[in-house]
Amino acid sequence: MKRRTIIGMAVATLLLCTTNGNAQSRVVRRANPDRDYDRRVIVTDRHMDIKPVIPKIIGNDAVRSFKNEPFDKNRLRMAEMIFRTDGVVTARQAMLIAETFSFDSNRLDFLKMAYTNCVDSHNYYITLNTLDFNSSREKLMDFINAIDTDTRYRVINRVTSDDLKEIVTLLKKETFDSMRYKLAVMILNGGEFTAKQIAAMARTFSFDNNRLEFLLKAYRNCIDRYNYTVAVNTLDFSSNRNKLMDMIR
């Protein structure tokens, strides 16, 4: 009987040691991500409650308040107050607010400010019609095209067929390819396009070299790059087609 008791205690001690060893082993593996985990993944036992950032689009009353304000200087302050409190606008709201400004220079300042706080920046081209001077339009396009990073919020960014019709019509109205290119790049910066849509935009260019430059720029905004041969075929010269394919490759 005593012998059985001693054997039982020995077995229990052995099991306890084995369990502790396994537990220690698990702790070591959890604390050493280089062995079992990707270095970019942080392993933690603590629950993390991550909430998505929801854009705070201003209301119609806030848009109308700009019309009630008689001075451009205060309108700019109102815009700063909205954006400083994480408020955002749609492209149409930005257009309506821009129309309330008395002077083109102030209107331009507002549109620059609003672009990085716009939820559908691929539609921002509609604000260009609020500017009185071509020089102001060009300054806005240059400002937007110089921004390398995405805007803070990109909620509505897939270009629809109806959007494309309006975009193509707008591009065709431009007299020179130089302005057409700036406008096209501005539109590209805020949207995602299919290869077919990019091809339609490319056909509005008058000269093949300018079309090539646009297609090179548009490639990064194409959501179906496996179909980009559709865009390549808009080029007239074989040398330009080869150049485009080589540079993409």
Q: Would you give the end-to-end CA distance of the chain in angstroms?
A: 82
Q: Quick one: pLDDT at residue 48?
A: 43
H or E segment at 56?
strand 56-57
Interior/surface letters 187-224, b for 16+ CB within 10 angstroms, e for the rest: bbbbbebbbebbbbbbebbeebebbbbbbebbbebbee
> How far is residue 155's CA from residue 233's CA, in Å, rounded to a whole number?
32
Q: Quick one: pLDDT at residue 159?
A: 82
Q: Quick one: pLDDT at residue 12?
A: 54
What single-letter amino acid sits at 46? R
Q: Quick one: pLDDT at residue 34?
A: 40
> How far is residue 49's CA from residue 137's CA, in Å, rounded to a whole number?
44
Q: Quick one: pLDDT at residue 9?
A: 58
**pLDDT tens digit at each of 249 positions of the chain:** 555 555 555 555 555 554 444 444 444 444 444 444 343 333 334 444 444 556 789 999 999 999 999 999 999 999 999 999 989 999 999 999 999 999 999 999 999 999 999 988 888 999 999 999 999 999 999 999 998 655 555 555 678 888 899 999 999 999 999 999 999 999 988 778 999 999 999 999 999 999 999 999 999 989 999 999 999 999 999 999 999 999 987
Q: Quick one: pLDDT at residue 54?
A: 65
Q: Quick one: pLDDT at residue 23?
A: 44
